[in-house]
Structure 1
Amino acid sequence: MRENIRPLTQAELPDSIKLSEFAFQYELSPEQRAERIASAKPGEQWGYFIEDKLAAKMTIYPMATWINGKRTKFAGVASVATWPEYRRQGMVGKLLVNAFHIMKEQGLSLSCLHPFEFSFYRKFGWETYVEYQNYELESRHLPHQFTIEGRIERTEDRNLIKAIYESYAASYNGMLERTDEWWENRIWKNAKGTAAVYYNEADQPAGYMMYKVADSIMTIHEMVFLDEKARASLWKFIANHDSMIRKVCLRAPSDDELPFLLHDPRFKQETVPYFMARIVDAEAFVKEYRFNPAGERTRITLALEDRYASWNQGIFSIEIDEEGSAQVKRSGPSADEADAGREEAQLTCDIQTLTAMLVGYRRPAMLHRAGRLQGTAEAVKLLEDRLPDRTTYLMDYY
């Protein structure tokens, strides 16, 4: 049986769409299919072929995010699917391992995806990197005690909303850098309803919300605020709708403080695990990483385990200068070098644990307590001090 992994040709894209429709249980119109084919970029869609028949496939999108306030390129993995007759034969695993090589060649040192099952992707080195809060507030919960310090105006100025989003997104780890194409096809087409912008007392835009009111429910597609006055003012604006709504639904970052700020915090709150991340090229990622500045240099030796990307397997000597830039040297991965290095390494972990730490989802001290990060308390403290403390968040889906 002849098997092959390769990029899909333009002529094979309809087969890929059919597989997606079947696997993810939706149906596109002829116009939507044509639009997807026209917008597909060469080299992004990969297929696993059996005797020239598409058996499984995945998509690799070159994208960008922010890590510690620094723009970072990454690979967005999507549309991973297999026809039922070919399932449980390891095809997706082979596609993923092949993708690691492709990503590395393209200089994409980080990868993110929305998992159908967390345990499946953990086997290949991905780890949860973001969760969010789902809120449902009844009208009695709305904060009438807040005030609008400045003004709020409804708007159709898309460039204004984009500029506020970019300032907000850079303050989190993992938010998507939205291209003009993304805004057009993913945001403006789907966020039906009204947009309103908050201007502070200096008449500077500092927040927005995109929302829809229907059947006495306010659904907030996006709520963005750059400071606490913007947050309070937007919530007062929401409260001013109390005569026409009975419920407000929205999504918020995992560390959102709204329950504490309300008189009655007993409203429906749900924590939702969302996307996963994986460092594809540890050496390249750490070299570009922005650590906390310190009064002196910090040197850490890390024994890293990665069974699916051999270039990540080995002992890494990481030297972080006073400004937070790092130099990285890798040794290994021969058996003798690995055994000797592990004995000398200050810290040991797998690629999942390293990802969770560096993207900001979990702290070194917590991972050390959980047994995911092995090493001395002194070494853990060194790393804890040099890693920025930033919340992870993602408002988009792909």
Structure 2
Amino acid sequence: MSEIRTLEQQELPESLALSQFAFQYELSAEEQEDRSNWTDPKQIWGYFVQGKLTAKLQINQFHTWLNGQRFAMGGIAGVATWPEYRRNGMVAKLLLQALKVMKEQGQTVSFLSPFKFEFYRKYGWETYIDYLKYEIPADKLPKFHAPEGSSIVRVTREWELLNPIYEQYALQFNGMMERDASWWNNRYFKNKKGTVALYVNAKGERTGYVFYQVKEYTATIHEMVFLDEETRRGLWKFIADHDSMISKVEVKAPADDQLPFLVHDPKFKQEKITYFSARIIDVEAFLRQYRFESRKEVEPIYLRISDPHADWNDGIFQLQFTGSGGEKAEVIKLAEGEQPADERILSCSIQTLTALFMSYQKAGFMAKIERLQGSQELVTQLEAAIPQRTTYLADFF
């Protein structure tokens, strides 16, 4: 006998044991107790066979930003199965259950870190982010100058100081996470060691910070956040002033970061890494909330979406732009028999739709590789309607 259900509090140790085995880490008894104290068992869905937990996944209730709009996001994590139960479709059934649960909870989009991208693509998730990883020798660190009157202030690791700066920075990207006190304290600070330094400009405004650790002659920058170019240069000058005690700096940055162009010698190790996947959970609700580019066209856009794992997304959606500037759309899922002529429809899968509306790929490219079907005129209209922002995620779950 098998069943899928959420866990009870007393089943958390069993869930932790499976996670430690699957992801190859160990927690002390104290760490396990601490993890159990802030983990909500109702967010963990388990597959049980004769009462034994055999597979599981967790649906975290997060929020993310897209085009400056705050979206409810289901963060899938901790997907694991005991080896003796693998390849029996248990994770597939858990993922299908997760889609229904996230829709019911109002989470219109989901993110996850895939162990294998092709596996999650089968269930509708698609790559949405790349980031850059730099390894900069000390002699190639930027030679910037800090403006007169600015300063660097070392501070304690208090989330209230950093979060206002982080949120202003995060709003510039698509896909960054909203952080609350629990995330900052239980996940962010707890998993990283080091020093936090604030940048204060000549007006006394806090416009950036760097959280970093120096160990074994390497400066590892956990996070560098800056709201303007002055702050970027000031923070990098501060890091460069560690040159007598480090041999290199390691840091990650958004895919469109221009640091190599700004430094005197850009010939250092630069690696592009594909990171998380995303999935639109509820097409109708997602598109209603989505902020489009200003629109002048009065004709609606019709999207035919194929989603074999979520029938509520499978069908034709009409987008009629309304309001000031046409940045919002009235979205209607058409009933059978109501569809317009085929030449007025753009067709794609839920994966393609996600890549487009996260701004990870453009409509013209998706049409070129035959993942978006429709006339060139409609493809051009759709591309013009979708704002272009860099996708980025500074966190992991």
Which band: TM-score by shorter chain?
over 0.9
Partner of 1:154: 154
Displacement of 1:384 after TM fit?
1.2
Q: CA deviation at 1:346?
A: 2.3
What's 1:61 paired with? Answer: 60
Separation (CA, whole Å) in 2 of partners of 1:215 and 1:40: 34
Per the normalisation by structure 1, the TM-score is: 0.95
User: Does the C-alpha gap of structure 1 residues 342 and 95 become closer, same or farther in structure 2, counting only changes over 3 Å?
Assistant: farther
Aligned to 1:36: 35
Structure 1 residues 133, 342: closer, same or farther in 2, change over 3 A? farther
Q: Quote the offset at 1:324 in angstroms.
A: 0.5
Deviations 1:174-208 (A, max 9, x none): 11100100010112223311111112222211111
Q: Which amino acid aligns with 1:259?
A: P
The separation in 2 between residues aligned to 1:166 and 1:245, in whole angstroms, is 30
Equivalent-residue separation in structure 2 for 1:19 and 1:145 (angstroms): 49
Distance 1:54 1:249, change over 3 A: same
Provide closer, same or farther for how the CA distance between residues 35 and 258 of structure 1 changes in structure 2, counting only shifts above 3 A: same
**Cross-structure match for 2:85:** 86
Hey, what does 1:362 align to over in structure 2?
361
Percent of aligned positions that are identical: 50
Deviations 1:231-257 (A, max 9, x none): 111111111111221100011001100
Partner residue of 2:224? 223
- TM-score, normalised by the number of residues in structure 2: 0.95
Query: Counterpart in 2 of 1:378?
Result: 377
Which amino acid in 2 is paired with 1:186?
A: R
CA deviation digits over 1:153-173, x for unaligned, max 9?
Answer: 222262221211111111111
Is the 8 Å Cα contact of residues 143 and 263 (structure 2) preserved in structure 1? no
Number of equivalences? 393
Alignment of 1:1-398 (within 5 A): 2-148=1-147, 150-156=150-156, 158=158, 159-321=160-322, 322-332=325-335, 337=337, 343-398=342-397
Contact map agreement 1:132 1:393 (CA 8 A) in 2: yes
Mapped contact 2:199–2:231 kept (Cα < 8 A) = yes
Answer with 140-149 or 20-29: which moved more.
140-149
SS state at 1:93 partner: helix
The DSSP-based 3-state class of the residue aligned with 1:17 is helix
Q: 2:144·2:234 contact (CA, 8 Å) conserved in 1?
A: no
Instruction: Tell me if structure 1 keeps the 8 A contact 2:131–2:253.
Output: yes
Which 4+ runs in 1 deviate beyond 4 A?
A: none
- Counterpart CA distance in 2 for 1:194 and 1:378 is 53
Q: Is the 8 A contact 1:196 1:210 kept in 2?
A: yes
Letter in 1 for 2:333: R
Secondary structure in 2 matching 1:316: strand
Instruction: State the SS of the aligned residue for 2:42.
Output: coil
Calculate the aligned-residue CA RMSD, in Å.
Answer: 1.6
Question: How far 1:35 moved relative to its partner?
Answer: 1.7
Structure 2: distance between partners of 1:41 and 1:214: 35
Question: Bigger shift: 164-173 or 237-246?
Answer: 237-246
Amino acid at match of 1:68: N
Contact residue 45 and residue 58 of structure 2 kept, 8 A: yes
Measured after TM superposition, the shift of residue 372 of structure 1 is 1.2
Distance 2:55 2:113 in 1: 17
Q: Give 1:323 deviation, angstroms.
A: 3.5
Matched to 1:47, the amino acid is: G
Structure 2: runs of 5 or more not aligned:
none
- Conserved? CA contact 2:44–2:57, under 8 Å: yes
DSSP-derived class of the 1:222 partner:
strand
- Pairwise CA distance, 1:331: 2.1
8 Å Cα contact 1:172-1:391 kept in structure 2: yes
Matched position secondary structure for 1:388: coil
Contact 2:198 / 2:210 at 8 angstroms: preserved in 1? yes
Q: Are the aligned partners of 2:343 and 2:374 in contact in 1 as well (CA < 8 Å)? A: no
Consecutive unaligned residues in structure 1, runs of 5 or more: none
Paired amino acid for 2:331: V
CA distance in 2, matches of 1:153, 1:297: 53
Cα distance change of structure 1 residues 88 and 157 upon mapping to structure 2, 3 Å threshold: closer
Offset, 1:320: 1.8
Shift of 1:214: 1.6
State the alpha-carbon separation in 1 of the partners of residues 176 and 56 from structure 2.
26
Distance 1:201 1:294, change over 3 A: farther
Pick closer, same or farther for the CA change 1:107–1:367 going to 2, 3 Å. same
- Give, in whole Å, the separation in 2 of the partners of 1:261 and 1:115: 33
Once the two structures are TM-superposed, the CA of residue 296 in structure 1 deviates from its matched residue by: 4.5
- Rounded to whole Å, the distance in 2 between the matches of 1:323 and 1:343 is 24
